[in-house]
Structures are given as C-alpha cells and as structure tokens.
C-alpha cells in the first residue's frame, strides 16, 4: 500500500515566474508551504507556514484554490506520494528566506529540472495555463 504525504503550497507568481524555495542542505527547489498541524484548516496552516518560511503575511480573504497535484515524494521510498493542495493568495511584507529556507528564487517552467517532482507538475500546469513562462 502506498503512503501519501498531505501538504499545502502557496503559488506566488511575479512577472510570469513562480516563487521557489530551497531548504538548507538540499539541492532542489520546492513550492513554499507545508503540513497542517492538529486542528488547523488549510488557510491557517498555509498562512503559518508561509510566515515561518518567507516572513510575509498572507491575506486570508484573497486565498484562491489553484489545484491539487500528486507526485513521487522527493527523497522518500518508492510508492510514497506527496499530495500538494495549492492556493494563490496576496501578501503583505517583504519576501525573505527564514527558518529552514536557504534561498528563494523566481523560477520559470524551464527551471523544472531544479525542482521536486511535485513542483515540476505544478510548473507544467501553470505554464499550460499561460500563467508562467
């Protein structure tokens, strides 16, 4: 039986590029976000994770569902999948790497090889929707 890791992701697009984050001691970029804690809904968890990782505040009233994507969980055993439930949202503050994040970068669909398998699926989707280059 396969295992599924349930995560949330924030899709932040600027100048037709998607914000990616790279954790310390990792080589691949992923989409900012994370897991829910006990009792949290998607909005609460995503706002908390983005604040921790990127030092900005998401505006909850602007949260818009963008899609759910499943792929192999990078660095995990065969059969372990990650489910990424993605949202767009506006924010206030200045984006900067915090917590375990070593670097943030604006990425295009051509940067897919530098990203996790789930992020590659999201890039392909956004590119097909003509939201990123």
Superfamily in which the 3-129 domain is placed by CATH? Nucleoside Triphosphate Pyrophosphohydrolase (3.90.79.10)
For 113-125, the pLDDT digits (tens) are 899 999 999 999 9
Predicted TM-score (pTM) above 0.85:
yes
pLDDT < 50: residue spans in the chain: none
Q: Where are the domains of the chain?
A: 3-129
Tell me the C-alpha distance between 82 and 105, whole Å: 22
């Amino acid at each position: 039986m396969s295992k599924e890791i349930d995560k949330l992701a924030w899709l932040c697009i600027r100048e037709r590029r998607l914000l990616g984050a790279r954790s310390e001691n990792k080589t691949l970029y992923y989409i900012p976000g994370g897991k829910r804690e006990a009792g949290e809904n998607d909005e609460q968890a995503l706002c908390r994770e983005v604040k921790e990782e990127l030092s900005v505040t998401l505006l909850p009233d602007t949260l818009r569902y963008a899609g759910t994507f499943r792929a192999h969980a990078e660095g995990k055993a065969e059969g372990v999948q990650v489910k990424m439930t993605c949202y767009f949202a506006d924010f206030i503050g200045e984006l900067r790497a915090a917590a375990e994040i070593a670097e943030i970068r604006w990425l295009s669909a051509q940067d897919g090889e530098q990203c996790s398998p789930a992020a590659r699926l999201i890039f392909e989707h956004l590119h097909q929707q003509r939201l990123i280059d």
